[in-house]
Structure 1
Amino acid sequence: MEHGSFTNNSHASFTLAEEDHTLANAVRFMLNQDPRVTLAGYSIPHPSLDRVNIRVQTTGDPAREVLKDACQELMLMNRHVRSVFDKAVAEFKVEQARLKAEEEEREKAKEELKKQREQLESMDIEGN
């Protein structure tokens, strides 16, 4: 919900329902990165309320558009972080599978060596 002025749309407050510090701080951060923003902050009216108030003041651009742009930038950043994370997880799984295969090969080689030693020990070299 937007609480703003009918005469000056360069500053407004927005209420986000069912949100907390997690989203509000991220949105505030993105807003403060925008050169069009002169003030960006948030407050939580009461700890028992799951509501966040975000205040935006701009150099002249509509506050609603600036907030929308900040949210879109945040979504892009989150997509990038998610793709980097997913790639790292996939690489980790491949590496774990490679290490497991190497370990299995070592175990196989140990078993083969053990069998060869047992065969040599079972041969009666002095009896020939």
Structure 2
Amino acid sequence: MEHGSITNNSHATFTLTEEDHTLANAVRFVLNQDPRVTVGAYTIPHPSHEKVNIRVQTTGDPASEVFKDACQELMQINRHVRSVFDKAVTAYKAEEERKAKEAEEELKRQRELFGSMDIESN
């Protein structure tokens, strides 16, 4: 829900229900990176209500457009983080498989070495 001025669309407050600090702080961060934003802040009216109010004031651009752009930028950041994370997990699993295979081969080599020793002849 958007609360704003009819005469000046460069500032507005957006209410997001069923959200908390997690999303609100991320959106606030992205908003404040935008040079069009003069104020990007959020409040939580009451801890028992799952609701946040995000305040956007701009240098002249419509606040709703800037807010939408910030949300899209946050989605791109999240996609990038997820991509990097997935690649790191894949690399870690591949390295663990390689280490396990090396350990198995070393154990096999040691068994063959000890199996070829003739203990009774010494």
Band the TM-score falls in, shorter-chain normalisation:
over 0.9
Aligned partners of 1:58, 1:121: CA distance in 2, in Å?
85
Aligned partners of 2:87, 2:76: CA distance in 1, in Å?
17
The amino acid that maps onto 1:8 is: N
RMSD of equivalent CA atoms = 0.9
Q: Give how far 1:122 is off.
A: 3.2
Aligned partners of 1:114, 1:50: CA distance in 2, in Å?
67
Equivalences for residues 1-128 of structure 1 within 5 A: 1-117=1-117, 120-123=118-121
Query: Aligned to 2:16, what secondary structure does the other structure show?
Result: strand
Q: Give how far 1:114 is off.
A: 1.1
Q: Highest CA radius of gyration, 1 or 2?
A: 1
The amino acid that maps onto 1:14 is: F
Query: Aligned to 1:40, what secondary structure does the other structure show?
Result: strand
5+ residue gaps in structure 2?
none
Aligned partners of 1:25, 1:74: CA distance in 2, in Å?
11
TM-score, reference length from structure 2: 0.98
Segments of 4+ moved more than 4 angstroms: none
Q: Give how far 1:29 is off.
A: 0.3
Query: Aligned to 1:122, what secondary structure does the other structure show?
Result: coil
TM-score, reference length from structure 1: 0.93
Aligned partners of 1:48, 1:75: CA distance in 2, in Å?
27
Aligned partners of 2:49, 2:119: CA distance in 1, in Å?
78
Query: Aligned to 1:113, what secondary structure does the other structure show?
Result: helix
Superimposed CA distance per residue, residues 44-97 of structure 1 (whole angstroms, 9 cap, x where no aligned partner): 000000000000000000000000000000000000000000000000000000
5+ residue gaps in structure 1?
none
Aligned length: 122
